[in-house]
Structure 1
Amino acid sequence: MSHWITVYSFPISKDLSALFRLIQRYQLPLRIAEEKNQQALLTTDSGIAELLKPLLQDWERGLVDLDRVQLTKAEPEAGDHLPGEEGQATKEKAPVSPSFLPTFPMDKTPISLLLIGLCFFGWFLHSNNLSAPLLIYPDTSGGPIFSQSSLMWHLERGEFWRLWTPAIINLSFQHALFNALAIWILGRPLEARGGPFIYSLLVLLGGIAANLSQYAWKPEVIFAGMSGVVYTLVGFAVVMQRWQPAWRDIPPGIITLAIVWMILCVLGVITYFTGIGIANAAHLGGFFAGFLIALVYCVAGGARKFNSYPAST
């Protein structure tokens, strides 16, 4: 006789129609029953219960859309045999596991959407020669004394916003588009999981660290762009993927590609072939800021929000 175990319990008022459609779509060995004034999702397969519980937690929090989730069959392991082979044990359906590349409701990622809009707004300002109030003026004095620098000149006048706002200005449409896509891919998963407060803090501190790093490295050059913030997100994601190996909202290959690109830029390879000046210090400053912020966040226990399987579009 089958022993049913509870995968997850929902309030009696919760609409489970999307869950029912998921069960029907993949013919999952699950059933829904009312128990103790709650709706219980039951199964006889403990493996499926373990895999689905994080996904259901995210669904209940509104982070995923079950109608857009794709479940993929696990590959057979060594020693497994197909049903019907003579003299061999047979197995039932291979367990399913949620795949990556998630989708998140727009209302869960308002800061990321704002940043994407600012990328193009900054390009508009630059194209119309309106960006000067947001940039840090280049320091042409050549002296090492910070108190006489152009940055201190801004700060003495209370223009503290200039510590971050160079991130808004993008110098071309392609520059704005590249950074906007990076925010969409990297930023939205981090914001949806971590919440708007920690994400806003990450973006703010990372942007300041990136801008100060670039100014310290080459104060005589005007710099701008959201790339420093993007690499703050990369640094944060690097730590998170190692702290929570089950978290795959951002495919590891994308993080690897971003790091390889940063290294090629630092080595001068990209500038050599394209002739485009790159704010390498901003990339490095943002990356290490995101890395350190993630370490503090994880040690403080925040990583538990990332301990789940994502949904896929």
Structure 2
Amino acid sequence: MTEPALILVAELDVDLSPVTKHLWAERIAHRVVEQDDRQYLYLADAADAERVKDWLQQWQDGELQAPSPTERADTRQQLQTWLQTPVSFVFLLLFIAVFIWMQVSDSWQNWLTTGADLWPQQRLQLSTYLDIGLWALWRPTLLHFSFMHILFNSLWWFILARPIERHDGVLPLLALVLICGLAGNAVQWWYAGPSFGGVSGVTMGMLGWVGLRLRRVPYAVPTMLLPVMVGWMVISVALDTVIPGTSGTAHGAHIGGLISGFLLAALWPVKQSQSPPEV
């Protein structure tokens, strides 16, 4: 696991935009966090620290030059970037493979009837969920019912899973996938019964994880992502309450995944980075 590196601490009145623009142009993931009346510049990958220190020295000397706008990472570099987060990549391939399988086979359809004979009469009994089984509850996470469904969920997976694996490691990502998927699906089954699918319960859990830890870990995602997505969830729940079926969203999976993601983020320790020089 690559631990984020705290590379610079600066006063609030220091303009770091030349540095951040240079880093983005060089495709170096980073984040500036304002805390305790100071700015903290984190690098996503500590391996970039040495060359960034050179640029910081050039910036302080007034000699930092903007990189050429024509510089772009080639296909091989993009692949190497993905291979830095292999578990995220493997799960994405798994979602795509299952989607293709769904187009050529109907064997997956029995996944949609899990516990159908137990709902709703026995949905309040813990033994019901034990009878259904952990795998049967979790496996609808792999199902996507349309191209737009898998495209949308893959986008959120790309945005959230890779930073989590890069900064926190494989184990937290697997915990989020398994626990948030299971919790979200269990809540959805309790709320609306069987016949649902998608990895959005997991992505909501990852959203809760990132949102709760964003001030301490440089995930390089927008700070407004969590409130915007939670606001969207509240609006869609309200719409479906007034006009059932308006959004076609599995609200139980979203809520269950989000809450379990919050809990995991609160309980999982955050690794501390080394303190950098101040300017």
Give the TM-score taking structure 2 as reference length: 0.65
Greater Cα offset, 122-131 or 194-203: 122-131
What does 1:125-164 align with in structure 2 at a 5 Å threshold? 125-127=101-103, 128-132=105-109, 134-135=111-112, 137-141=114-118, 142-144=120-122, 146=125, 149=128, 151-155=129-133, 160-164=134-138
Residue 266 (structure 1) aligned with residue 237 (structure 2):
yes
Q: 1:148 to 1:229 in 2, by over 3 A?
A: closer
Whose helix fraction is larger, Structure 1's or Structure 2's? 2
Distance 1:211 1:58, change over 3 A: same
Cα gap change, 1:135/1:118 in structure 2, threshold over 3 Å: closer, same or farther?
farther
Instruction: Please give the secondary structure, in 2, of the residue aligned with 1:304.
Output: coil
Matched AA of 1:286 = G
- By how many angstroms is 1:153 displaced? 4.3
Aligned-pair distance for 1:257? 2.6
> What is the CA-CA distance between 1:181 and the residue it aligns to?
0.5
Amino acid at match of 1:154: I
Q: What per-residue deviation string (whole Å, max 9, x for no partner) do you get for residues 224-280 of structure 1?
A: 1100000000110111014x1x62511113333322221122212699598442110
1:186–1:216 Cα change, 3 Å: same
Match of 1:86 in 2: none
| Alignment partner, residue 211 of structure 2 | 238
Question: Relative to structure 1, is the Cα distance of residues 148 and 291 closer, same or farther in structure 2, using a 3 angstrom cutoff?
Answer: closer
Matched with 2:86 is 110
Contact residue 210 and residue 219 of structure 2 kept, 8 A: no
Listed one character per residue, the Cα deviations across residues 112-159 of structure 1 (whole Å, up to 9, x for unaligned) are: 11222232223233333231354552524541363784x55433xxxx
Give the partner amino acid of 1:304.
Answer: Q
CA distance in 1, matches of 2:245, 2:274: 38
In the TM superposition, residue 282 of structure 1 has moved relative to its aligned partner by 0.5
Aligned position for 2:149: 175
Q: Quick check: which has more Rg, 1 or 2? A: 1
The verdict on how the C-alpha distance between 1:273 and 1:284 changes in structure 2, with shifts beyond 3 A counting, is closer
| In 2, Cα distance between equivalents of 1:255 and 1:229 | 14
Matched-pair identity in %: 24
- The 3 A distance-change label for structure 1 pair 92 and 266 is same
- Give distance in 1, aligned partners of 2:223 and 2:255: 19
Query: By how many angstroms is 1:94 displaced?
Result: 11
SS of residue in 2 equivalent to 1:171: coil
Cα pair distance change 1:123/1:295, threshold 3 Å: same
Q: Is the 8 A contact 1:236 1:293 kept in 2?
A: yes
Rounded Cα–Cα distance in structure 1 between residues aligned with 2:150 and 2:274: 29
Distance 2:242 2:161 in 1: 26
Q: Following the alignment from structure 1 to structure 2, what is the Cα–Cα distance between the partners of residues 138 and 164?
A: 13
User: Residues 305 and 179 (structure 1 numbering): CA distance in 2 closer, same or farther, change over 3 Å?
Assistant: farther
Match of 1:165 among 139, 155, 168: 139
| Structure possessing the higher relative contact order (Cα contacts under 8 Å, 6 or more residues apart) | 2
Residue 58 of structure 1 pairs with residue 45 of structure 2: yes
Q: Count residues with an aligned counterpart.
A: 223
Q: Indicate conservation of the 8 Å contact 1:136/1:162, yes or no.
A: no
Q: Distance in 1 between matches of 2:64 and 2:50?
A: 21
CA distance in 1, matches of 2:236, 2:251: 7
Q: Which residue of 2 aligns with 1:124?
A: 100
Q: How does 1:291-310 map to 2 (within 5 A)?
A: 291-297=262-268, 300=269, 302-304=270-272
Distance 2:149 2:108 in 1: 15
Pair 1:188-2:162 in alignment? yes
Look up the match of 2:259.
288
Give the aligned partner of residue 227 of structure 1.
200
Question: Which stretches of structure 1, 4 residues or more, deviate above 4 A after TM superposition?
Answer: 64-67, 91-96, 133-136, 269-274, 305-308
- Per-residue CA deviation, residues 144-183 of structure 1 (Å, 9 max, x unaligned), is 363784x55433xxxx322321100011111011010100
Which residue of structure 1 lines up, in the alignment, with residue 179 of structure 2?
205
Structure 2 runs not aligned, ≥5 long: 1-6, 9-18, 23-38, 66-77
| TM-score, length-scaled by structure 1 | 0.59
Q: Which residue of 1 aligns with 2:13?
A: none
Does 1:247 find its partner at 2:215? no
* Alpha-carbon distance in 1 for matches of 2:245, 2:135: 32
